[in-house]
Every structure is written in C-alpha cells, then in structure tokens.
Chains A and B, each alone.
Chain A
Amino acid sequence: MSADTWDWRGAASSVAVTAALLAGWAVVTTLGWVSPVFLPSPQATAQALAEGLREGDLLALAWGTVERMVYGWVLASLIGMALGALIGSSPVLRAWLQPMLELVRPLPASALIPVFIALIGLSPAMVLLVIAFGAMWPVLLSTVHGFAAVEPRLSEVAQVLQLSRREFIVKIGLPNALPDALAGMRLSLTIALILAIVGEMLASQPGLGTAIVMAARSFRAADLFAGVALLGVIGFVSNALLGAAERRLLRWQR
C-alpha cells in the first residue's frame, strides 16, 4: 500500500507511535512506577548496549549467535532443498515418504534437544545439529510441495524433451519450487535463531542466549535488556535481508 506512493503522513505517524512507546517506557521508569530491578530505563539499556559493544564482549557474543544461526540455517536450507527436490520430483518416493514427513512435522524442534544432548553431549556440534535438523523441516516440506505443484503441462514438456531426472529438477522443478522453498527458508531462519538461543542456554555455549540468562540470574537488568534488544536487531536484520533477497530472486515471476 505504502510501497507505490510514499505516504509521508503515514510514515510520520508510524514513527510518532514508536517514539511515544519509547517515551512511555522512559516515563514509567523515571517516575519509579516499576522497579529498575525488573525494568531498566531506556537510557540505562542504551548505555549498557553501547558499553557492551564498545569495550565489553557483547559484539563477540552476538557474533557467536549469528554464526551459529547462519551455519545451521544454511545447512538446513541445503539439505532441505536437496531432499525436497529428490522426494518432490518422484511421485513414488512422495507416496512412500510424505505421510511419515507429515507425522514428524508438528514435533517441536526444541523437544529434540534432549535427545541430541543424550546422543552427542553438550557440545557446539550438538547445537549446530539441532539448529540444522529443526530448521530443515519447513524448507523440506515446502520444496516437496513446490515440486508437487509443478504445472502438469510442464512435466509433459519435460517428458517430450526426454529430460533426465536431474535436468528436470534443475530446469523445471527448482525454478518452480523456488517461491515455496524461499517461504520455507524464511520460517527456518526464525526457527534457527530461536534454536540457537535455546541451544546456547542449555549447552552453555558462548553467545547472547547464555549472556541474557546469566544477566537475568545476577539481576543485571540493563545488560539483560541490551542483550534482548540486540537479539531483536538480529531477528529484524536477518529477516529484512532475506526479504530483499527473496524479492530479487523472484523478480522474474512478475
């Protein structure tokens, strides 16, 4: 709506509401309505954030979390797309495997963490595997769906041209399944960040997830809010980047 005609008044009102929320936060804390033990003022949070980034190890911790999330997500996307293409391009495999995949899908990825801990132990590799495994499902299932939804006439064309299975996947299947796969990857990114945080909390790996739990346990509310804000920034930026990539990759469709 606001994409075609830049709506100045709308944008200004949007900024005003956000500013008002921040101001409300500041007023509530300066008037002492909420104890600073629970809710630090925005100034204190900003200061903790700036200090942590400048001289503390907040940046290194954030980088650890981002690295974990991105590696796990890339792994999940690659495996999910490859398996999805394999299963989706074959009606036989689809008939045999899809019911099982649908059965595994509603399982919360975090519920697998104890199993992975028992199998691998509390290591960085465990966290990475949990992220990759948990974030793989949306990509896998949406890729299978994308392949299944390929226009039947295109499949007939492929038959007439005597394309091999690999050629069919590369030339017809993947381009058709790309919008679905990208939608799955977007969901996967959110899951990857959450699993990175949970994995860090449980396995005590250096990262923001561990840092905010430690801050909460030692009642350092400003540090806690700074860490949470940074996680929000990571979520926001990664989502925005993927959205931009998505628009660019799918430009040929419009």
Chain B
Amino acid sequence: MAGPTSLRRWRGGVLPLLLLIAAEWCLHGVQSDALAPPTRVLASLWEGLRDGTLLGASAQTLLAAIGGLAIGGGLGLLMGLWLGLARRAATAAALSIELLRPLPSMALAPIAMLVFGFGYRLELFVVAFTCFFPMLLLTQAAVRSVEPRLLEVAQVLALNVGQRAAKIVLPAALPRVFVAFRLSVGIALVVAVTTEIATNPQGLGYALIAAQQALAPERMLALLVWVGLLGWGLSAGLLALERRWFRQGAPA
C-alpha cells in the first residue's frame, strides 16, 4: 500500500491548505468576535498547551469519558455476553431495551444535574448511560455470530456458563467486541464534550463555551481544533491497534 499512493495522499492535503491560506489572507488584521486567522489560533493553541490549561481541561474531559465508558460499557459488555448466550433472556429484555435505547442522552443531563449536582458524577452518569446500549447490542450480536460448532464443543466438554464465556465465547467474539469498544470510545468523548457544553461547567466543552462568551475567537477555535485532534487521534490509535491485533478479524 506504499509507493505511488504518497502522491495521492498529498492531493487530499492541498485543499485544506489552500483554505487555511485563504483564511489567513482574509482574516489578517480583521477584528472579529467569531473568527481569527489560523496563525493566531495556532499561537493560542501553543499558549494553552504551554501554560497547562488545555491539558488540565483535557484531563477532566478524558477522565469523565473513560470513566463513564468503563462503567456503562462494562455493564453493557456483561449484559451483552449474557443476552447473547441466553436466547430467552434476550427476548425477555428486548422490549425494555428498545424502549430505553432511543432516549436521547442529553435528556438525562438535567436528571443527573438534579440528583448529583455539577461535577464528574453528572458527566459519568450521562456517558455511562449512552455507552451502555451500543456496547450491549454490539456485544450481543458478536456473541450470536460465534461459530455454533464452538458452542457444541463447549457443551461436549461440559463447561459451565462462566467457563463457556471466558474460554470459548469471549476469545471468539473479541474482534467484534473490540470494534464495539472503539466505536464507544468515540461516542463517550462526544457525549462528554456535549454534556460540558450544555450543562457541566468543567473540561474542554466548558472551556469552549467560556471562550465564546469571553469573545476570544482564537481560543475558541484552538479548542475546537484540539477537540478534533483528540477525537481523531483516539480513533486512529484504536483503529491501528485493531488492525494489529485482529488482522483477519471482522470488518469494521
């Protein structure tokens, strides 16, 4: 996949570069509450990285996103394993899941605000609720797609439920479970930032809103770029891991 594609790769970079140059040209010396030239955005990004404010806010957002994912995604994983293995339990839970799943995550933020007040717990709750369902459904589907003969082997070996899950099902379903995890990481980050923008005064999302209200467009745009880089880096890193660990695994 290397070689002649390198020139093609550059082609994709031409337009963004031209747009950036055009933005620099048009916005240079312009005083605006909404936009700033790319060089000033970059300078603000560097400033934020150097004085630690950006990293502090990122740590808050990432902590909430990863913690919420660990809680909600972990529960979703366990329940998905169970429902994937036990057909009857899956049918019995189906209606409740279908009724709860379409509940928009942000509708829960005011409830969490009422119960927990502002802070990590609010955000953890919203992120956990949102990550629970994709992890549950994708894990369930992954377990369902495990080769039936493997399950027959488990029966012949008289493995109990725990052994069956740990020794046969989980290894076989792992590539697709990892895809579910990768998607959930992206969701967790988006939900964490959204919660911060809408209600919770901490982290990158709040810093974005604060920069807008302080009429500091270069800081606002620098944060936007940073959030984008963070999301892009996380998803690219996980995708690379997935390719490395499960090369012949399930298609993404």
Contact = CB atoms under 8 A, between A and B. Distances in A.
A149 interface: no
A100 B94 contact: no
Given A221-B114, A235-B103, A97 B228 contact: no
Instruction: Tell me if B's interface is mostly helix, strand, loop or mixed.
Output: helix
Given A115-B220, A224-B111, A193 B104 contact: yes
Contact of B209 (A39, A97, A114): A114
A198 B197 contact: yes
Interface stretch (B50-58, B152-160, B172-180, B188-196): B188-196
Interface in A38-55: 38-39
Contact of A213 (B33, B34, B110, B189): B110
A201 B194 CA distance: 11
B21 to A, nearest CB: 14
Interface string A109-137: 11111110111000000000000000000
Interface stretch (A16-24, A77-85, A140-148): A16-24
A244 interface: no
Instruction: Tell me if A's interface is mostly helix, strand, loop or mixed.
Output: helix
A188 to B, nearest CB: 13
A99 B13 contact: yes
Given A117-B212, A190-B104, A110 B12 contact: no
A216 B35 CA distance: 34
Given A13-B91, A224-B114, A111 B14 contact: no
B231 A231 contact: no
A232 B129 CA distance: 14
B95 interface: yes
Nearest to A238: B102
B124 interface: no
Nearest to B233: A106
Nearest to A14: B95
Contacts of A114: 197, 208-209, 211-212, 220, 224
Interface string B1-17: 00000001101111110
Nearest to B220: A114
Contact of A108 (B92, B114, B193, B221): B193
A35 B50 CA distance: 46
Contacts of A215: 110
Contacts of B95: 14-15, 17-18
A228 interface: yes
Nearest to B87: A1
A100 B93 contact: no
B232 interface: yes
A10 B95 CA distance: 10
A189 B125 CA distance: 23
Interface residues of A, number: 60
A7 B33 CA distance: 61
B96 A17 contact: yes
B186 interface: yes
A239 B104 CA distance: 12
A96 interface: yes
Nearest to A98: B12
Contact of B189 (A17, A108, A221, A236): A108
A111 B193 contact: yes
A232 B93 CA distance: 18
Interface string B70-97: 0000000000000000001001111110
Nearest to A94: B12
Contacts of B224: 107, 111-112, 114-115
B107 interface: yes
A103 interface: yes
B110 A115 contact: no
A232 B221 contact: no
Contacts of A18: 95-96, 99
Contacts of B35: 118-119
Interface of A: 2, 7, 10-11, 13-18, 21, 37-39, 95-100, 103-104, 106-115, 117-119, 190, 193-194, 197-198, 201-202, 208-209, 212-213, 215-216, 219, 221, 224-225, 227-228, 231-232, 235-236, 238-239
Interface of B: 8-9, 11-16, 33-35, 88, 91-96, 98-100, 102-108, 110-111, 113-115, 186, 189-190, 193-194, 197-199, 205, 208-209, 211-212, 215, 217, 220-221, 223-224, 227-228, 231-232, 235
A-B residue pairs, 9 tightest by C-beta: A99-B12, A235-B102, A216-B110, A118-B34, A10-B91, A114-B212, A106-B231, A110-B194, A14-B95
